[in-house]
Structures are given as C-alpha cells and as structure tokens.
Amino acid sequence: MAGTLKVGNRAVLTKTFSEEEVCSFADLSGDRNPLHLDNKFGAASVFGRRIVHGMLVAGLFSGLIGMELPGPGSIYLGQNLVFRAPVFIGDTVTVSVEITKVRQDKPIITLQTLCVKDAGTVVIEGEAVVKAPAA
Amino acid sequence: MAGTLKVGNRAVLTKTFSEEEVCSFADLSGDRNPLHLDNKFGAASVFGRRIVHGMLVAGLFSGLIGMELPGPGSIYLGQNLVFRAPVFIGDTVTVSVEITKVRQDKPIITLQTLCVKDAGTVVIEGEAVVKAPAA
C-alpha cells in the first residue's frame, strides 16, 4: 500500500459528538474535569458551556489513519496537537488528514491533521507520523 | 491555583486497559484498525498480538491534567505525542505529568508527559501545554 501513497492524498470525515460519547471518554480517560461534564461549571467558564474533551476529538485522527489513510495495519508513530477552539456537544466537526511527506527509505509518512467546525473555524491542527502497512 | 504551580510538580497514575475499553475507544474514534481489534491480524503483525490504540493510552494524560495537575477547570492547549512501544490489553502502564515550565505573564504551564510499562519501557513521551484554572 505504501507504494501508492503520495503527497496530497487526503481523507476526510465528519462527526457530531453526543453527551453519551463525552461521558464514555470521561470513563476511558479518567478525565472528569467539570469543564467537560458539568453544565453549571461550563456555563461559568470562558466558553459559556461545557466542551468536548480535546483528546476525544483528536481520536478522530486515529480513526482516519487507521481506516482510510494509510488504512488498516497502520502503526501510529507520533501526533502533535494544538487545540485552537472548543467543540461543544452537538457541534459537527470535519476532520482531515493529508499526506505532506513520504519517506523514500521506509514506509513512513507524515500527514497534516486538521479539525474544523462551522464556517471553517480551526479546532485542532497538527501533524501525524505513521508507518504505513506493507504493500 | 496557578500561583501554587511550580516546576517539578508531578502527578502519576497507573492503568490497565481491558478488551472492553479498547472496543469502546474503537466506537468513539471510529478506529477499527484490525491491529487493535482482530486477534489474528495482531498475531501476524510485528507486535505478535493486537495493541491498544495509542490515542486511548494518551487519553490518560488528559485524565491527569484534568483531575490532578493542574486539575479541574484546566484548558488543554496542546499535546505532542511520540508512540515508542506498544501497549497490550492487560498491560499496566504508569502515566505521569510533570511541570517543566510556568509562564510568568499568564497561567500557562508546560508539562512533560510520559507513559511507561514493565521495567521502565517508554511507551509514549511528549509534552502538554495547559491553561491552569484561575486561583
């Protein structure tokens, strides 16, 4: 598969997080920060309401990489994340990964990872490094 | 709270991921890479068995930051991750965050984030940037 990977290849998905998914991630991660779980706390915060865990949203990059680009068998080597704007429960986000570099010596690729919402507000940006599955 | 944050402050937790948690994260992230979900595929992989999603393990940093250091009300600004070794279902990992920098002008801190297993094998290393809750 690595042979067909080219700079500019891109995969995209959209997702809307529910109340239940936020609670589920709180269980998995142990992150019960009231900024994510408590309506009153969220209302009093700088965001005006509670927000989806950034690391839950970032999990969508794992989904795109593991399922689409480069796809099943991929091995995640690294991920940088900058959280630029909050995601609220019910927000629809668009997540994309795009190959920016393909190593010639090994099946290792670098991807730009981006999550936006609404009319293009950047939610998360960053970069992933992935070992592509054998061709 | 930011006033009490000092370089060297550290929080630690241990965790063992179950089969159910890996399936739950696959649902949340959409990452059904057979490397995580399929015993046969895992057995044929370089790891010899299926592995826990790196982004699920990394979610423990969110847990430590949101619950302990700096704790409830923290706002995640960034996270860098390098995945160095696999975590298998049933492995016990030790995750730590340690403050390496405290900004003087704003309540923003940098933390070294580390996950190890067994006799010190580094699983994930990286760095987080977090806005601490108001004092």
In this predicted model, what pLDDT tens digit does every residue of B28-37 receive, in sequence order? 999 999 999 9
Contacts of residue A53, defined as CB under 8 A and 6 or more positions apart, other chains included, come to A22, A25, A26, A29, A31, A33, A36, B59, B62, B66, B76
Q: What is the mean predicted confidence (pLDDT) over A76-101?
A: 98
Q: What is the mean predicted confidence (pLDDT) over A122-127?
A: 98
Whole-structure pTM over 0.90, yes or no? yes
Quote the CA–CA distance of A16 and B128 in Å, as a whole number. Answer: 25
| Residue A2 pLDDT > 50 | no
Query: 3-class SS at A11?
Result: strand
Q: What is the mean predicted confidence (pLDDT) over A82-104?
A: 97
So what's the pLDDT on residue B50? 97
* B61/A55 touch (CB, cutoff 8 Å), yes or no: yes
At position A62, the amino acid (one-letter code) is S
Q: Which residues of A touch B74 (CB under 8 A)?
A: 33, 35
* B31/A65 touch (CB, cutoff 8 Å), yes or no: yes
Residue-averaged pLDDT of chain B: 96
User: What backbone phi and psi angles, to 5 degrees, belong to A55?
Assistant: -75, -20
Q: What is the mean predicted confidence (pLDDT) over B96-117?
A: 97
Q: Which residues of A touch B28 (CB under 8 A)?
A: 21, 24-25, 28, 56, 59
Quote the CA–CA distance of A97 and A128 in Å, as a whole number. Answer: 8
Q: How much of chain A, in percent, has pLDDT values that exceed 70?
A: 97
Facing residue for A67 by CB, picked from B30, B60, B77: B30
Peptide bond preceding A70 in cis form (omega within 30 of 0): yes
Q: What is the mean predicted confidence (pLDDT) over B69-79?
A: 97
The pLDDT-based confidence of A84 (bands split at 50, 70, 90) is very high
Q: What is the mean predicted confidence (pLDDT) over A78-105?
A: 97
The pLDDT-based confidence of A119 (bands split at 50, 70, 90) is confident
**Closest approach of chain A CAs to the CA of B7, in angstroms?**
22
Q: What is the mean predicted confidence (pLDDT) over B70-86?
A: 98
Q: Which residues of A touch B59 (CB under 8 A)?
A: 25, 28-29, 31, 53, 55-56, 59
So what's the pLDDT on residue B119? 85
Q: What is the mean predicted confidence (pLDDT) over A66-75?
A: 97
Q: What is the mean predicted confidence (pLDDT) over B84-109?
A: 97
**A2-17+58-131 falls under which CATH superfamily?**
Hotdog Thioesterase (3.10.129.10)
Q: Which residue of A has its CA nearest to B85?
A: A77
**Closest approach of chain B CAs to the CA of A7, in angstroms?**
22
For residue B72, the tally of other CB atoms under 10 A from its CB is: 17
Q: Which of A91, A101, A99 is nearest to A123 (CA)?
A: A91
So what's the pLDDT on residue B4? 84
* A74/B35 touch (CB, cutoff 8 Å), yes or no: yes
Assess: ipTM above 0.90: yes
Facing residue for B33 by CB, picked from A55, A66, A80: A66
Contacts of residue B112, defined as CB under 8 A and 6 or more positions apart, other chains included, come to B96, B97, B98, B100, B125, B126, B127
Contacts of residue B44, defined as CB under 8 A and 6 or more positions apart, other chains included, come to none
Facing residue for B60 by CB, picked from A15, A29, A62: A29
Q: Which residues of A touch B94 (CB under 8 A)?
A: none
Q: Which of A125, A66, A41, A115 is nearest to B78 (CA)?
A: A125
Quote the CA–CA distance of A57 and A85 in Å, as a whole number. Answer: 11
* B30/A46 touch (CB, cutoff 8 Å), yes or no: no
Q: Which residue of B has its CA nearest to A45?
A: B73
